[in-house]
Every structure is written in structure tokens, then in C-alpha cells.
Chain A
Amino acid sequence: MVLNIASLLQKSYKENQPKTMVQVLLFLAGLPVHLVVYFIYLMKKKDQTLIAQLDGIRSELSKKHCTDQWHSEYADQLVRKRNFLQEDVSDKEIHKLSEKLAGNRLEEEILRCTEEYLTQNRVRKETYSVYFHSLLKRPEFLLYTLLPGALMYALLLLFSNPFLTYIAERLVQSVLVIVGVAVLVFTILYISPFDPASNILGESATKEQIAAFNQLHGLDLSYWQQLWNAVKGIATFDLGTSFAGNEDVATSIANKFPVTLTIALFSVIMAVVIAIPVGILSATRPNSFLDYSFMFIALIGLSIPNFWQGLIFILNFSIKFNWLPATYSPSNHLSMIMPVVVLGTALTASIARMMRSSLLEIIHEDYIITARAKGLTKIQMLWKHAVGNAMIPVITVIGLLFGGMLGGAAVTEKVFNIRGIGSYIVDKQFIPDIPAIMGGVVYIAITISIVNLLIDILYAFLDPRIRSKINQS
């Protein structure tokens, strides 16, 4: 058992040798182990004969007067080159150059001879990395260093599996992107020419009042301190109090987020349920009347602004026919229909178009023709081979558009008077309430990143093409 793990670790260590970034990471993770091992290595190295060997070979080679011979050879070549190219080079320069070349050759020769000697006498050239590598092979070493080197071993195990490596890389990437988003949004709001204090306290505020306000919200600190506070606040779900109204921003966001997320989720479900059959129907009958009508409707769906569609829905279904309530209330499930449809329209249209083009492309692939030639019926071919593969780009699009939807929710929420995160951000931007805007935007970006991360990881397990790509790299 221990032996197995030891060989696994050793293999992983060897494979990751060329990757500098990974090496640095491993070294940092196993710093305590490395310090001790390096000390032992230095102690051991003292009785090494390598350096003595090198000196011996050097003196031997120089005794043979090889250098002078090489020197004259190079000089001859350089003179001939000068004559041929009719270059304007002085003898002195040629002398210098040939001397340098001869010197280089001497070094190479020495190295070569040493290598030869070492392989002949079965002595390995010991470097620290090789030494460490050989240590990893021993189970007792592993047991001794288990505690101080736990972090490094965990990393090594992680890197031994390409899937885990891929997931870890994507995770790190997402975290970096989220920090980047926080820094970006904070910087935009920081360099704003507006002064929140005088905006909120009004024209008549005294200097002391403004100073007290700034101190309360930490606005008198330096840029880096404020930035650090903001990033820390996002990570710990503690965004402080809003500028106006003195409410806890994190709690407000936590209250409003589920509303938006529910509507968005239902919209996605609606879009998938409608769009995928439509896309399949269109792709199986390309350029038919049905196909043209579906795609025409989809294009109209893409071209309607959310707020206009919402207003027309309210006008028809609430005012004229009085079927559905015009404003949203969480207790009334009927009031959810219109916002969900409005928010989902553009997504439905995009997915239908994407599904159609993706399926059309796959239907013309060679393996589908093979499947047809094998005698599969059209329907079998479609369900067994085509639809599943066509879904892959569609799912990516859903992931990407989900983000756009959470952003676009602001408009829909305003139309239907929904108290979600979108309308919260819009309301707060008039003040402008920096912690609230920042929190809202960054948490939405985090949600989107998580959704995309999950989709990417899902792929890694589902799509054989991506799987083999990960395994190869």
C-alpha cells in the first residue's frame, strides 16, 4: 500500500519535472522537508568525487594541446569564410573569435568526457533533484516526512491525476478571475468623481459631518487599504453597512439574490424545454417552411427588448384580459409566469438557433453518414449519435447566456417591480452606494463563474474528446 503510493508520488514528481510553475509550487509546499533533505544532501555531497574527476579531465585535455589545435582549425575556417564573403574583418578579431570558440569546445569536451566516465563507472551524476527523487522511492522516508510534507504530497497526488489537475487549475483560475472582478469594480467606483458623503448628507453638511461619514465607512483610508477591506468583505460575506439607510449590505443581497435566481432558473428550464425540440425539428427539416418560421420567430425573439416585451405583456394579459397580475409577489405563483417568459425569451431564441446549427453540422459529419450506411433509421441515428453530441456546444451557450440573463434581470425586475438583486443594484447606483453596487455585481459574477466552472467540470467527465485532450496534455 505504502509502496504503491510511494511509486505514484515518485512518478508524479518525475512527470512534473519540466513544469517550472509546478516545481515552484511543490517546493513551497514541501519547504520544511526540503530544508532538512537539502542539509543532508550537502553533508553527503562532501565525499563526492565528481569535482576531482572534472579537474583531472581538464588537466588531461589541456596537456594534450587540444586547444591549440582547435584554435588553428577555427582560425582557418574563419579566414576562409572572410575570403568567400569578402567581409571586412581584421585578423585580430578572427583570433579572438577562434579563441572563444576553442574555449567553448574545451568545456563541451570536458563535460562529454565526464559523462562518459561516469556512465562507464556506473556512477550517477548526483544533483539535489535526483537525490530527492531517489528518496521518494523509500517508504520509510515517506512515513518520516508525512506530517511536515503533507501539503506537498497532497499536491503530488493531485498532479498525478490529469482530471484533478484540470479541476484544480479551473478552480484557481476562477478564484483569480473573481478577485480580478472585485478589484476592477472597486477601482471603477473608487475613481468616480462623485463624492458619496456630500451626495448623501446634502449640500448643507458641515466638514465635520462629512469627515465623520467618511470615517464611518472607511472612505478616508488609502486606496490599497480600502481595496483590501472590500476584497476581504466579499470573501467573508461582510460588506459593512450601506451609505444610505444604514442596512447591512450582505443581508440585503442575501435576501434579494434568491428571488432573481429563482426566476432565472425557471427561465432556463423554460428555454431548454421549448428550444431544444424546436432546434431539433428545424435541423431535421432544414430550409422547410417549418424551419423558416421557427428561425424567423427566434430572430424576432432575439430582437425584442426585455422591457418592451414586459410592457406589452402587462398591457395585454394584465390590463386588457386581466389574466395575470402585473406585479410580482412571491406568494402568488401566477405572477411569476410573465417575468419568467420575458427573461427567457432571448435565451430560448439563442438556444434554438444554436441547437439547429450545431445539429446540422453534426448531421453532416462522417460518422453520421457511416451510421446511416450501417442501416440505422433516421430517428435512431438522431437520438443515438447526433443529439447528444450536438448538446455540447449548446450547454456552453446556456452557461454563457445565464450570466447575461442575471445581468439583464435588472431591466425585467424593474418592469415587473420585482425586488431582486438587479433592481437593487439599479436603485443603489443613483446614490451611488458603493458597497451595495460592488457586492451585487461581484456576487453575480461569482455565481456566473461557479456555473461556468461546474459546466466545464461536467464536460471533463462527459465529453470523450475533452477527456482525451486532458489526458494528453
Chain B
Amino acid sequence: MKKSFNNRHALIISKDYPQANFTWVLSLAIAVIFLWNSFSTKTDGLNPVVFTLFCAYTLTSIFQLFIARKMKKDLLDTGEISKMTRRLGYVQLVSLLTGNIFTAAFAFNLINKRKTPEYTFAVYMLLTQIAVLAISSVNLFKPYVSDTFLIAMGILLLFALFYLVVLILSVLYVNEYSAPRWMSILSIVLMVTAATGNLFALLLGWSLFMKSRRFDSSRLMKWNVMWEKITRNSTAVLGMFFILLMLVISITSRFTFDYALAVENNYGAILQAPSLAYPFGTDNFGRDVFSRIVFGARISLLVGLASTLLPGLIGGFLGAIAGYYSTRIDNWIMRLLDILYSIPGILLAIAIIAAFGANTVNLIIALSVGSIPTYARTMRANVLMVSNYDFVDSAKALGASDFSILFRQIVPNSLAPMIVKSTLTIGGAVIATSSLSYLGLGVEPHIPEWGNILKVGSTYLETNSYLAIFPGLAIILLVLSFNFLGDGLRDALDPKLD
């Protein structure tokens, strides 16, 4: 009786089992979407490519469901997942060939019982690299590729192999608090490869560096616990994966994609339906929509990040001052910010753009100004709370100046909610960017930006609806990823903030 109770408890606290369920549901949902799209309403025919994808995803989902059942049985019988079930993960890894990142990520998770943060970083680093290679290799079907394509692809492939080696090494040699000394060289090389935008490599490199250099254990424990909390939330990691994937693509697309295909008119290929050469079709000037979306990621990320960072800094500073020097200064700053707060962000942005014209820099400024009060409020609330802590009193007793107390003690300790807040609002900034572009008030029309592509697409809604659908999906995926990551960070760093 007691044993079965324990096993039931093991099922409840198991982190792998809910993830298994989440994965098969998601995989099946994607399969259904493929099925929905494999029938064309116009021609009444079956799209063979999409239908094959549907079959593959359905098979994967069924296998995933099988694994989930087996896990449940194992947990109820013995209280842990058996080795045989874990080996099924190797089979499930094959689903990576169909581009099913979710099952692949789950499979990696299942194979290894002992999950250090390094393992998770290494897995996602490798997955990101593979995804970038897959997306870039679509260019092979184009009539021509950019001059640096082969070299860039070669380097990316080398990196991918290197990452695979690191993954295996980190499984073999890295444990909770230490790693072999020779790994510090490896970690430095890893951190250098993060220049492609693959920040998982940076995280892994830094983690390995700390462990191989034997940093003190309290620091390592803090690091381990924090990342364990974040990676426990599988949607948060998937969100992070997609954001970093976008980042890598927007950096490497400079070498692997041909910018001319995205901006130069090609009247020989106007409004073509999706094909291998043009995966998302072409627009009314014959420009490749796929390339345009890939280059658009750059602007969306740049504007999104800049219009989060800028008000974060300004608002954070104002909020810190207001929270620390209470009463009069506080009142003045907050009342002035109330004025900004009572104008809806988009309207203020429209007014600013009306006054100064539409271009990327003005767009960033316009979006930033409107969101200063939100950050100031968050920062102020935190500073008010942290100011009451004992360490602030002791700093005062030691004779530290107000300035140094504020910026050395209080602000670093109230940063976590600010980081969470900015991850949660960055998605809004991305939506606002594309909304303004859609209205013709954002980025200049000739630049490939998701809102601009959609604006073109909206005029061909009846005949070429893919022009509007694909850039929209890209926006949703990016925003959704930021929201997932933000939710995960919030749960991990600051459970009270909502």
C-alpha cells in the first residue's frame, strides 16, 4: 500500500511525464494543421507534400503517446523510468528528420537521466544549429545563391559537428559541480562560436568555464538552481530556442541568404505559389517571400530589443530615483509619467511619427517613449520594497553615500522583476512594430519587415493568401516565444510578480 502510494507520488512529481504528454498533444496539433492544409479548396486535390508531413507527424505523435503510456506504467510500477523506456528516446530522435523540434527536444531529455544545465544547453545548442542549417539549405533549390553561401554553410556544419562532440563530452565528463580542467579551453572556443548568435553556446561555455576553473560552489549552486528552474518549464526553453534561432538566422543570413532575392524585383516570377525554390511563394514584384521573412527577423528583433532596452533603462532610472527619494521627487516624477501613461502607446507613437516622419530610428523612439512609465512603475515598486531590507540599513550605517547605496545595493537587487517585465513586454513591442508598419507608419516600405510584407499580402488576400499568412505566423511565433520565455522567467525568478 505504502509502496504504491510512493509510486503514485513519483508520477505526480515526475518532470518528464507531463512533458511527454505536452509533446504528443503539440505534435498531434501540428499534424492536424497539416491535414487541414493538405486539402486545397480551389482544386479539390490533395497536396502530396503536406499530406506526407501530416502522416509523419501523426506517426511521431502516436509513438510519443506510446512512450508517455510506458513512462506512466514504469512510474506506477517501480517509481522510476526504466532504462528500456529511456532507450526509446533514441528511436524518437529520428523525428528530427521531419523537423519536429518538440519531439526531438523531448527525446534528448528522455535519453539522459541525469540532467545538468550543461546537458540542456548542449542539446538546444545543437538543435539550434541543425535548424539553422536546415533553413539555410533551402537556398540550394534557388536559381542562384549568395557568394559566401558554401563557405558559410561549411562553417556552420563544422560548428554543428563541434557542438555534437561537446554534447557527448559534457554527458561523459561534466557533473554537478565540476568538470575536467582541459574543458576550460573548450569552453573558450565555445564562447567564441557564440558570435553566430547561438547564445546557448555562450551559456554552455560560461557554465563549463565556471566548473572547470572550480569556481566556488555556492556560486555554482546558484547558477545550477536558477537554470534548473527555467529549464524545468519546457515551453520556456522552447521559447528561448525559437528566439535564439531567429537571432542566429538574422546574423548568419548575411552570408547564407542573398539579399537581392529579397529586395530586387524579378518580373519573371510574380505571385508564384509556394514551391521548393520559393518555399513561401513570391510577392507582386517577384521577390522571394521566404528570404524577405528571414531578413525581416533582423528588424523585428532589433526594433523589439531596442524599444524594450531603451525605456527599460530610462524608466528604470526614473523609477529608482522616485522610489528611493520618496515624497516630493517621487511625486513629481510619477505625476509627470502619469501623463505619458494615459496616452495609449500606439497613439503616442502615431503622434510622434506624424511629427518626425516614418523611419526605423523614429519608430524605436516612438515606441520607447510610450513604455517608459510601465518600467518606471515596476522599478519604483521594487526599489520601495528593497529599500526596507537590512542590508540597505547596514550600508547606510557603514557610511555609504546615497548614490552608491541606490546603484550598488538596491538596483542590482531589484533587477529580476525588471528582466521579467521586459521579456513579457518585448512581444508587445514586436507586435506594435509590425502594426505600425502595416499602417504605413513604421519601417520604410522598401525594407523587408514583417509588417511591410503583410501590408503587401493584405491586398492579395483573395488570390494569394500565403503572402499574408506566412509573415503573420512568423510574428506570432516570435511573440509567443517571448511570452513563453517571460512566463517561465517569471515563475523561476519571481513567483509573486504577475
- Could you tell me which A residues sit within 8 Å of B by CB distance? 173, 176-178, 180-181, 184-185, 188-189, 191-194, 292, 299-300, 302-308, 311-312, 314-315, 319-320, 354, 357, 403-404, 406-408, 410-411, 414-415, 425-426, 428-430, 432, 437-438, 440-441, 444-445, 448-449, 452
B343 x A426 contact (CB < 8 A): no
- Of listed A177, A192, A307, A426, residue having the most chain B CB within 10 A: A307
Least CB separation from A410: chain B residue? B346
A-B contacts, 13 of them at CB < 8 A, read: A177-B335, A181-B342, A303-B431, A305-B435, A308-B475, A320-B41, A406-B344, A410-B350, A429-B350, A429-B441, A430-B354, A432-B354, A448-B342
Which of B460-484 touch A at CB < 8 Å?
A: 461-462, 465, 468-469, 472, 475-476, 479-480, 483-484
Residues in B whose Cβ lies below 8 Å from that of A177: 335, 338-339, 342
The answer to whether A311 and B352 have CB atoms under 8 Å apart is no
Supposing A185-B343, A192-B355, A303-B480 touch, asked if A411 and B461 sit within 8 A by C-beta, the answer is no
Query: Any chain A CB within 8 A of the CB of B353?
Result: yes
In the complex, the answer to whether A411 meets B438 with C-beta atoms within 8 Å is yes
**Closest residue of chain A to B471, judged by CB?**
A308
Partner of A407, one of B347, B353, B468: B347
> B343 contacts which chain A residues (CB < 8 A)?
181, 184-185, 407, 441, 444-445
List of A residues within 8 angstroms of B355 by Cβ: 188-189, 191-192, 194, 432
Contact in complex: A425, B347 (CB < 8 Å)? yes
Q: Is the interface of A mostly helix, strand, loop or mixed?
A: helix
Whether B340 is near chain A, meaning CB under 8 Å from some CB there, is: yes
B458 within 8 A of A: yes
Q: Which residue of B lies closest to A426 (CB)?
A: B439
Known A299-B487, A303-B479; contact A410-B342, beta-carbon cutoff 8 A: no
Q: How far is the CB of B338 from chain A (nearest CB, A)?
A: 5
With A180-B339, A311-B461, A428-B354 already in contact, 18 other A-B pairs whose C-beta atoms are closer than 8 Å: A177-B342, A192-B355, A194-B355, A303-B476, A303-B480, A305-B434, A305-B438, A305-B476, A307-B454, A308-B472, A320-B41, A408-B346, A410-B347, A414-B439, A425-B350, A426-B350, A441-B347, A444-B344
Question: Which of B355, B435, B441, B484 has the most chain A CB within a 10 Å cutoff?
Answer: B355
Interface string of B212-229 (1 = CB under 8 A from A): 000000000000000000
B351 within 8 A of A: yes
Q: Provide the residues of chain A in CB contact with B351, threshold 8 Å.
A: 185, 188-189, 429, 437-438, 441
Report Cα–Cα, A430/B480, bound state, in Å.
32
Of B342, B479, B498, chain A has the most CB atoms within 10 Å of the CB of B342
With a CB–CB cut-off of 8 A, which chain A residues contact B346? Answer: 404, 407-408, 410-411
How far in angstroms is the closest Cβ of chain A from B391?
A: 28
Given the interface pairs A411-B435, A445-B342, the reply to whether A319 lies near B462 with Cβ below 8 Å is yes
A414 surroundings in chain B (CB, below 8 A): 438-439
For B344, B461, B469, which residue has the most chain A Cβ atoms within 10 angstroms?
B344
Cα of A448 to Cα of B346 in the assembled complex, Å: 14
Are A449 and B344 interface neighbours, CB within 8 A? no
- Which B residues touch A192, using CB under 8 A? 354-356
Cα(A354)–Cα(B475), bound, Å: 24
| B353: chain A residues within 8 A (beta carbon) | 429
A248 to chain B, nearest CB (A): 20
- Using a Cβ–Cβ cut-off of 8 Å, how many residues does chain B contribute to the interface with A? 47
Inter-chain CA distance A195–B468, complex, in Å, is 36
Taking CB atoms, residues of chain A closer than 8 Å to B350 are 410, 425-426, 429, 437, 441
Q: Which of A185, A308, A403, A411 has the most CB of B within 10 A?
A: A308
CB distance from B451 to the nearest CB of A (A): 8
Across the interface, name the chain A residue whose C-beta is closest to B29: A296
B345 on interface, CB distance cutoff 8 Å: yes
> For the complex, is B427 an interface residue (Cβ under 8 Å from A)?
yes
Alpha-carbon gap, A277 to B479, bound state (A): 26
Beta-carbon contacts under 8 Å, B361-420 to A: none
In the assembled complex, how far is the CB of residue A100 from the closest CB belonging to chain B, in whole angstroms? 29
Roughly how many angstroms separate A192 CA and B352 CA in the complex, as a whole number? 9
B195 at the interface (CB under 8 A from A): no
Residues of A within 8 A of B347 (CB): 406-407, 410, 425, 440-441, 444-445
**Which residue of chain A has the shortest Cβ distance to B472 in the bound complex?**
A308
Q: How distant is the Cα of A407 from the Cα of B351 in the complex, in angstroms?
A: 12
Q: Does B357 contact A (CB under 8 A)?
A: yes
Residue of B347, B435, B438, B469 with highest tally of chain A CB at under 10 A: B347
List the A side residues contacting B140 at CB < 8 Å.
none
Q: Which residue of B lies closest to A187 (CB)?
A: B355
A194: min CB distance to chain B, Å: 7
A188 to chain B: closest residue by CB: B355
For B431, what are the chain A residues with a Cβ–Cβ distance below 8 Å?
A: 303, 305
Interface residues in B263-318 by Cβ distance below 8 A to A read none
Min CB distance A190 to B, Å, is 8
**Distance from A285 Cβ to chain B, minimum over Cβ atoms (Å):** 15
The residue in chain B whose Cβ has the minimal distance to the Cβ of A442 is B343
Q: What are the residues of chain B within 8 A of A354 when measuring CB–CB?
A: 498
Q: Pick from B335, B457, B472: contact of A176, CB below 8 A.
A: B335
A180 to B351, CA, bound (A): 15
